[in-house]
Structure 1
């Protein structure tokens, strides 16, 4: 027991990170910057080559930091999972998507555990960071890893510590975001907490089990899902009543207690908030429990891209133009402002809805010059020109990037449908309709 703790404290422990995506690469970088020799593992050769060349592909990683730790030898990457044998602590940061039936696909987590299994050794620490349903760490990972003949909590240590990554957040990065840790045993929790205490500049909150930590992460995202569902439903109602939902929210924000502002939009995006509720509702069925409030909010949010397409159609109808054949320019494909990530983007779903109805679509996104949607490559308009805006029948703002001049857009567009209140500071609003 003392060996792994001593290695962490004197920073001789070798750390591994499986999965070098939006969660894994920033975590690997912080580990290396903290003075630990770190090995990144990924099945994609292209990612491995870029890391080893000091080439950054994640927005929240500082290019110079990556180059420095690679050149100094603190960080390397590989597709060879046999090198797990040389690691003292391994964090699993792989995707946990939904399958075509909207059920959890934890095959990447299981595959990672199977990749570690042949190289398990005494005093090894395994931490799962991928968001998943409560019970995954103890019900799936623990039995697989114990096939090694080693006993969890005695011979090796296992914990869950949910990732908390908010791409584009200027104030909170991996380094300074508080961390929750729940181990299978008390020893497991202490080792995992010690590791993060020596890497991060943030409080470490210990919980009694991996299941508590897993549920905590689901709660974080469902909290947002439900509240966004509530405000989206109110946005639809307010439109029918002729009330500006954005003004309503601004008024409610003046209350200094008991209210937190959430905002409507074309739907939910990203890899967590739209997906995580499905993990819990799936697991809840095992206990004969129906997560009615959560599922209701999911239904509201899932309906928003279609609703936005309907609103766009109604705006065009007022100008005696059918949606079919109209020229529509979407401003934004990324799932949130000022980032390049378009995973599960609601903007993309609005794009599909409009395209399905026969609209002639173009898009402009300074962060996403090109995107691949189910095998089809779309290329955006590089310049948001006066000519482009004037020839467009309707501009639909689906992502509120801060580096777009919305006053300029307003001056040259025939009509604007703003689903994000990006034009709130534009003085002339006669050709702007808000969600």
Structure 2
């Protein structure tokens, strides 16, 4: 009787909070100071644009289930023609890793279709006969503890002395060349087999230490398709993005007739010979037709916030249970703290001892909780969720415009300064 009563109370009083959808409100509604936030954020953003850290950016912060800050700054490019709008679509780069394949892997794990500690070769057969790979587990791969090399430049396979190899790339589409990398650039459909072969043959370090590697992310979509018997992109749309109401989240936005503007990234002087816009910036993902687990996902700040809020609410959002609470807890915990590896399963985590570091040395902001998690992206994107402080931080920019050589966003630790502002605002009268 007592247990039944507790259940009824939990349904009546806890569920409305758990199932909450994001809504807009003021900083004061959650105990923060609007003037302090506006002054500090505006100052950081304007100085960053003047110092050419990025031509424009936008910032969305939610606390206690309320979006208390969402503002756009600057322009798409330094010519100051197209202003950044709140519904602009960005190339998310490596943020793809935790918004693309990861939720699918989490769901397959809780359904018993994936085992974190079983050799990955059980799911990826080519590794069964690779001495250095056959015992690597999914847990090690997701926590970047596997010894896999960080990166392979697959662009080297389609060019020779600066010239494009016609057997892999065509200027017109056909049945065998239907993977579009950009306007007038079509990649051979079977090129992904070459990508997989190079990954399968890549060397693995005997030393099991933290070393960030994106190679397994290129394989995950194939694993997801094998286990679900659905296309990778359809599975994500049906199981996550559509039910979340995240309409812009997805791959190949140029094919979807969105009214939203798509923010350009880098001027590609090596391969595409043009300003990249609406097609993935990352060359490896581009060579796979723009659909990959390491990069290729596009979306708006609001649609990303819905996804992160779902994780913050232990897998629940928009009147739907997407993932079990224990699944979210498992994947967002540090896996190998004894090896000085801060990573969760797919998710990035704060530096160990982060709260003792200065703003210059911290990652992310020193005031985030150790339970917080997120990821950054090469194009200048950054998303983070803090369950202890019930806060979501979404920063989107195209810092690679006009070139990836621009590192001011890192040198000045801009995103960390912005994030810390919202923690300091709680201490301002």
Relative to the length of structure 1, the TM-score reads 0.22
Between Structure 1 and Structure 2, whose CA radius of gyration is higher?
A: 1
Relative to the length of structure 2, the TM-score reads 0.22
Which structure carries more relative contact order (alpha carbon 8 Å, separation 6+)?
2
